[in-house]
Amino acid sequence: MSEKPLCAVARDEAGIVVVTMQDEAGSNALGAALVAELTARLAEIGADRQAKVCVLCGLPGVFCSGGDKKMLLDLAQGRTAAADIMVSRAVLEVPVPTIAAMEGHAVGGGLTLGLCCDLVLLARQSSYGCNFMNLGFTPGMGTIRLLELAVGPFVAAEMMYAGQFFRGSQLEGRSGVNYVLPREKVAWKARQLAQRIAEKPRHALELLKRALSTPKRQAFEEARTTESLMHEICFARPETAQLIEENYDEPLPASRPYRKME
């Protein structure tokens, strides 16, 4: 029997493609295997001329829990360069509209991954936050600009400086995301939006996506340059690896929230 893929892909005749990150054992942490598989699936969608819209989903309890411990330690110990982790760019470069159905918790780079999408839906009961500084290093994956675009500079600053998590209900009316809904309605609303988008011709969707996504892609590239410089300094310090070892919460079952979110 073949192993269960970390990313499941479902297509329909209307051109809706749903990509579901489903690494239950790792609570959808961004390890090398999940990053590679997700990047490959997104590239396939871009090349699929029948695809008109992509919905990115996670587990019901956890959308994505950010970088896994091994990846973070590899960064801190110089075995991997932060600039090599380009899954954010893979989402941004999908040529058709993308929808993040973030019904579960999203942490650090996992939150940024969702914010790379064109439309973003959060759940009132779930928690969203940036824990980079809790682990001793500055944000990455384009977070410093993409988070500002999503929730405004002041809320973004609190989330980044303090490692602060917010329930979706706390962000309702304070952010620029599309919807903050009860958890059980997030997937339904994402599907409804996807159906409306899929009614449009692919060539027109591509043209509009290219135009509307330009500011976000430019913000990402600007952020990556600044983040790379900060990472060089942070990861060169020996205490960074120690802080990751001490403060990283091992992945919990996807049905449970993270301790620091409670």
Catalytic positions are 231
Cα separation, 92 vs 88, in Å, equals 6
Q: What is the spatial order of strands in the sheet that 7-11 belongs to?
A: 7-11, 16-21, 53-57, 98-102, 119-123, 179-181
Amino acid at 14: A
Cα separation, 42 vs 39, in Å, equals 5
For residue 55, give the 3-state DSSP assignment. Answer: strand
Token pair for residue 252?
Answer: 């919990």
Strand ranges for the chain from DSSP E: 7-11, 16-21, 53-57, 62-64, 98-102, 105-107, 119-123, 127-129, 165-167, 179-181
